[in-house]
Amino acid sequence: MSIDNLTPLPEAILDLRREVDRDIKSYARMMRDRAAERISELESTRLAAQLLDGLGLEVEGYGRLAWLRVELGHFPNSHRGNRRLALAWRKLRRALGCRLEQRGTDVADARKKTVAVQLRPVDFPAVRIRYTRPLKKGGKCRIVKHTYTSTSLVCES
């Protein structure tokens, strides 16, 4: 490569400034779009908080109320526990006016063999609903404990 083939310095600086200006405009446009999305999420979360207010549930809000967490409690694997859980689901669906999706299940307490179930209302993506249940005896799922070993090199000085 010869120095004679390089773009002249004033022209290279001008190109770089144009590129930076384009990047700044693109970033500003992206941030305005993201701000509009966040405002919409914030409004929907506030609406969910208002709708859930009179249900007597344990509701926690975070920050500007950008996230909402609802704790339903523990439901045993009994006829009464199933009825209480179905009633809680119904109350939530009616209050929010949308269906609930199960978003995941995880171990709540390995010693007590309980699992935590995570729900999300489809119209309120920033709302998380959680309840716990014991693992069913003889069911498809079980709690597995993992142990890991690792090796490392230790050198004496």
Residue 85 confidence (pLDDT): 95
| Structural domains of the chain, count | 2
Q: Which residues contact 73 (CB under 8 A, 6 or more apart)?
A: 58, 131, 132
The verdict on 70 and 129 lying in the same domain is: yes
Residue 11 confidence (pLDDT): 92
The answer to whether residue 55 sits within a structural domain is yes
The verdict on 87 and 74 lying in the same domain is: yes
The verdict on 34 and 47 lying in the same domain is: no
Element housing 22 (H / E):
helix 9-52
Angle at 82 between CA 81 and CA 83, to 5 degrees: 90
Return per-residue pLDDT of the chain as tens, 157 residues: 677 788 888 999 999 999 999 999 999 999 999 999 888 888 998 899 889 888 888 888 877 777 899 999 999 999 999 999 999 999 999 999 999 999 999 999 999 999 999 999 999 988 999 999 999 888 888 888 888 888 888 888 7
The answer to whether residue 103 sits within a structural domain is yes
The verdict on 64 and 105 lying in the same domain is: yes
Residue 1 confidence (pLDDT): 60
The verdict on 27 and 61 lying in the same domain is: no
Residue 157 confidence (pLDDT): 74
The answer to whether residue 100 sits within a structural domain is yes
Torsion of CA 12, 18, 24, 26, to 10 degrees: -120
The verdict on 31 and 52 lying in the same domain is: no
Range of the domain at 29: 3-38
The answer to whether residue 156 sits within a structural domain is no
The answer to whether residue 154 sits within a structural domain is no
The answer to whether residue 152 sits within a structural domain is no
Strand, coil or helix: 78: coil
The answer to whether residue 97 sits within a structural domain is yes
